[in-house]
Structures are given as C-alpha cells and as structure tokens.
Structure 1
C-alpha cells in the first residue's frame, strides 16, 4: 500500500505532523535517519516522500543525518519517486551561502554577506565592515547557531581567538551586515505546496533563537535588532498579511523545488526588506496558531494526502 514517508532526524519536531496525519486517517511511515543503510540496487516503496531533514541535526548528536538523507533522496529521485523538499531543498537547507545566491537570482534582497574559513581569514574579512556593526552566523546552522553581534573588528578578534569561539560544523562562518530595524521583530512567512499560508511576527527582544517549535531551547543569544520591555507573545500570526515580496518568494520556491518552507525577513529603518533565512524543515508555533485559527501541520497533512491520492 502506498504511504506518506517522512524523512527526518528529530522526533519532537515530527510528532505534530504525525498527529495530524492520524486525524486525517492518512497512512504514513517515519524514516528516522540518525543512521542507516541505503541499498542502491533495491527499489524504493511506492508512495510520496517528504523530507524534514534539518541543518541543525549535529546539535542533537546526528552529525551525518543530512548526508545520509542526501543519499536516500538521491536513491528515491533516481527511481522517480515524488519527493517533497528533495535534493535541491536539502542543498539549500544546509548552506546559507547557497540560499543567498539562489534568492539573489530571483531579485530578492539579502544582507551583505562574506563567507570565511579560518580564523585569520574571518578577521580579515570583517575589515570590510569596519565602522559599522555586523553579525556572525554559521553557514550550516538552524536554531540561530553562531549568531553574535559585533561593533568592531577588534571585538571580533577577541572572540575568534578566545575560548568561546563557536566553530561551525562545516567550518564556514558568515559575516553579515547588521540590519537596524525600527522595532525588535522579524517576519516569518510560511508556505505549503509552494504557496503562502500565513505570516508570523516574531519578537526578537530576548535573542535570536527564532525556531517556533516548543522543543527549541538553546539559551540566550545576542539580538541584532535591539531591545523591548513590553510583555507580549513571541510569535503572533499577522492577519491578512500582504506584500509584493510573497510573489517573489513563491517563485523562488518553485524554481528551487522547495514545497514546504518558512522564510524570514527583516525591514530596516527605511523600510527595505532583507530576506536572510530559508527553513525547509519549518515548524509552527501552536499558541500563535491557536489564537489565529490557522494550523500549518494540518495544511501540510492535507497537502501530502492530496498528493498521495494522485
């Protein structure tokens, strides 16, 4: 019997999806790829396949899960199986460099970014930002990994040569211009089946750990967009959100064969939008969805069910 196969490495991020699949009486099977075997001479089962592989898998002890997922997805695509968020999506998931270059092709503005390997090279690259604040982040990241705010190259040099330096799992650190927003929030747009479903306003007052899942807890990080004292929910669905950027983002998703994603952007003081992150294993915040009456995992389950029927 054909099924929906879920490729992932994090049970906590998958349980909400399987709950919805059960509610809709849809047959499914999980493929947890912490480790495993791929028999290249075998034939994959019939069904549709959905990858939720994460760039942050190494923070859960699953260092090579994306590499294994890449092998599994290549095997599936070789046999013409329908894979949602397949090989191209995974390529972008594990590399912000690849994300930014792909976004720029579609005319989507991203922050000025330099990629560097090596501590000396990182410090040298930062000199291009001298006189203005800048942030660092990991190329293969997720969960706000490596995000730090610096006011000068001298501050970065102390960090890079100190014991607190956070080495990226792929060795690539990004230096990126600091985007000064008039208010401390970013916007995250959610897409299912390549189509926009809703936008979320995300409060960044307490740091830049912006994963909406309840399971995301990695401690405080430096926030690149200021401070705010008012008590309010971290995630709020924006009613009837509209912006010309949505059409560009949908085109970007279509061109890169990404079917499910959360894409984050920030507006600067002049109102210019900078898109800086594409999450192809997107999660949804249950409290914000409950208030708004929209449910990402339900929409995703319906989408996968419709594709299975085809």
Structure 2
C-alpha cells in the first residue's frame, strides 16, 4: 500500500483486501460485487506508508496466508503485521488483525492456544534448525509426521514409518527447509474413517462443515478452486470436498470453537479437525486465510462466500 495523500482518509470507505495471492480472490471479490460492497485490493509486497498519516477509510481485512513464502513473498507476514498495526493504531476496523497474524503463521502458537483452551491437540515437538531433528524424532513412536511451523498447502507434511528413513530424509537432498526454520515432529493421528472435517466460520459464527476425503493419502487439503488437482486425477470427477451435514452449529466441538475464535479475535476461519480410531476429536489447523470450495458452495444451502460478503458489508456500514 503506497503512502496515502493528505485527503485519502476522507475518501469513501471501502473494504481493503490485504492479500498475497490474487488467484484465490476472484470468488470472494465477485461475492463482494454481488452484495454491492466496495473494495480495493492491496498486495502484501513492496508497499509503504507514513506512520503518522491516517490510513484509508474503511475496513481492513487480512488475507495473509502462511504459505506466502512459497509464492516468493517471504516478507508478506511482516508487511501484514505492520499494515494492520498501523490501521489499528488509527482506529480503523480490522478483520483478523495483527494478533491473528501470529496464529496464521505459527502452528506452535495455534497448538499452545488450543491447548490452553482445553482442546486435545496432537503431541508435537518443535525443532529449531536441524541439529536435534533426528534425536527428537526418536521421542515419538512410529509412524509420525513432519510439518512446517509456518505452513499451509500441506507444506513439509510427510509421514515416516521408521526412524531410519527419517534420518535419510534429513540428510538428503529432498529435505524441505521451513520458511522460519522451525520443523514440527508430530504424532500420526489415524482417522476412524478416511476423512477430516473443516468447519467454516464467518463473523465468528459457524456456517457449514466440509468433509475432506483423505483416502488417497494426500496432505494437500486446500479447498480453493485455484489449488492444483493431483496429477493423474480427472478434474471433472475428482471431488474430495463435500458438505458434512451431521456437523451443525450445535455440535459440541463447534460450540467450543466459536468460543475459542472469539477469545482469539478471529472473525473468519476454517478449522480442521480429525476424529481418530481411539475416540479422540482433535483440532489440528486454524486457517485464518480461508477459501471455499466451489463444489461445496453449490451443494450447501448456505453460501460461506455470500455470508462473508454480507459480514464485511455490515462491518463497513458500521465503520462509516
């Protein structure tokens, strides 16, 4: 965002969409247009602003994603932190503000917050650098998985059935270096059935739950239409995302998650959880940069995209 001129703050207020990936925006912007909500896009890259100047009028909505570094935008999280703090300092309405950024870019922060709120979370060891990786991995039974602390799109998520193969991975050319240098070693959770569930929330309220088929063994669970279809799959028939009607707003976990999101100041999110063979219900990922699957949107009686547009439009009206 370039430095605003002296009259910028007096212009008509709009929803300012702060993002690091324009490919995810079309459905969301189309919904804003359909709802008559004025908006402006701001790429979290190469921007600047005067700290003493008032930000543009309107609502600032953070679409920062933890996977920004994979698209050549390693500094996006710093740009988001600074821009949101600037907006907050000047009293602008912010959706998923600077405090939420910390949860988006750190699974360590997510697990600690979820655990503090009483949720069952996966046993996880955070390893900084690589010197302790092989030794700390031996504290976990096999199989176990790795993932990146600053992740997204399944980055760095791999399953290992023995420690010898893990040692070879750490020492070999295929080792994936995390963007922030933090690798997570985590217990492998065996699902009772081959799917996980993603609960979508807008304005802090439950919209719908999505059943995500994991029978193919993939850890790439991005629901956006712009995400890549697995090699060899037929895009016309490959539909791993479907509405899960048995998970409603009254579901005990959903009720608790709404309370958790409110306490964390998270207004828009997709929270993924797994139901294990031994009866655990474990939330393991809080996505504050959420995308909506087009198949699910068509199937559901309620559109999360429309709900989001209405929510942002209401926030804009209240901020005017």
TM-score by length of 1: 0.93
Residue in structure 2 matching 1:297, options 295, 300, 305: 305
Whether contact under 8 Å (1:119, 1:161) holds in the other structure is: no
1:205 to 210, 215, 225: 215
Determine if the alignment matches structure 1 residue 18 to structure 2 residue 29: yes
Once the 2 structures are TM-superposed, how far is the Cα of residue 44 of structure 1 from its aligned partner?
0.7
Q: How many residues align?
A: 299
| Shift in Å, 1:188 | 0.3
SS of the residue 1:129 aligns to: coil
Which residue, 147, 154, 157 being the options, matches 1:137?
147
* Partner Cα separation in structure 1 for residue 161 and residue 186 of structure 2: 12
Residue in structure 1 matched with residue 234 of structure 2 by the alignment: none
Q: CA offset at residue 38 of structure 1?
A: 2.4
Structure 2: how far apart are the matches of 1:239 and 1:108? 23
Is 1:269 the counterpart of 2:280 in the alignment? no
**Distance (whole Å) between structure 1 residues aligned to residue 243 and residue 214 of structure 2:** 15
In structure 2, the residue matched to 1:161 is 171
- Structure 1 segments, 4+ long, off by >6 Å, are none
SS of equivalent residue, structure 1 residue 128 = coil
Q: Measure how far apart 1:218 and its partner are.
A: 8.2
- Structure 2 counterpart of 1:181, from 187, 191, 194: 191
In structure 1, what is the equivalent of residue 9 of structure 2?
A: none
**Higher mean displacement: 5-14 or 136-145:** 5-14
Shift of 1:214: 1.5
When structure 1 is superposed on structure 2, of 97-106 and 150-159 the one drifting more is 150-159
Give distance in 2, aligned partners of 1:217 and 1:93: 22
Structure 1 residue matching 2:132: 3-state secondary structure: helix
Residues in 2 aligned to 1:307 and 1:119: alpha-carbon distance in whole angstroms: 45
- Could you tell me which runs of 5 or more consecutive residues in structure 1 were left unpaired when the two chains were aligned: 221-230
User: Is 201-210 or 292-301 further displaced after alignment?
Assistant: 292-301
Deviates more, 1:57-66 or 1:209-218: 209-218
Structure 2 Cα separation of the partners of residues 292 and 255 of structure 1:
28
> Structure 1 CA distance, aligned partners of 2:192 and 2:317?
47
**What residue number does 2:294 align with?**
286
Equivalent position of 2:7 in the other structure? none
Q: How does 1:1-310 map to 2 (within 5 A)?
A: 1-130=12-141, 132-206=142-216, 207-217=218-228, 233-242=239-248, 243-310=251-318
Query: What per-residue deviation string (whole Å, max 9, x for no partner) do you get for residues 151-208 of structure 1?
Result: 1222211100000000001000000000011221100000000111100000012311
TM-score of the two chains, using structure 2 as the length reference: 0.90
- Of 291-300 and 255-264, more deviation after overlay is shown by 291-300
Superimposed CA distance per residue, residues 198-231 of structure 1 (whole angstroms, 9 cap, x where no aligned partner): 00000012311001002122867xxxxxxxxxx8
Query: Secondary structure at 1:143's aligned position in 2?
Result: coil
Distance in 2 (alpha carbons) for counterparts of 1:149 and 1:157: 13
Structure 2 unaligned spans of 5+: 1-11, 232-236
Q: 1:287 to 1:74 in 2, by over 3 A?
A: same
Query: The residue matched to 2:138 in structure 1 has which SS?
Result: helix
| Distance in structure 1 (CA, Å) of the matches to 2:179 and 2:34 | 38
Q: Is the 8 A contact 1:56 1:143 kept in 2?
A: yes
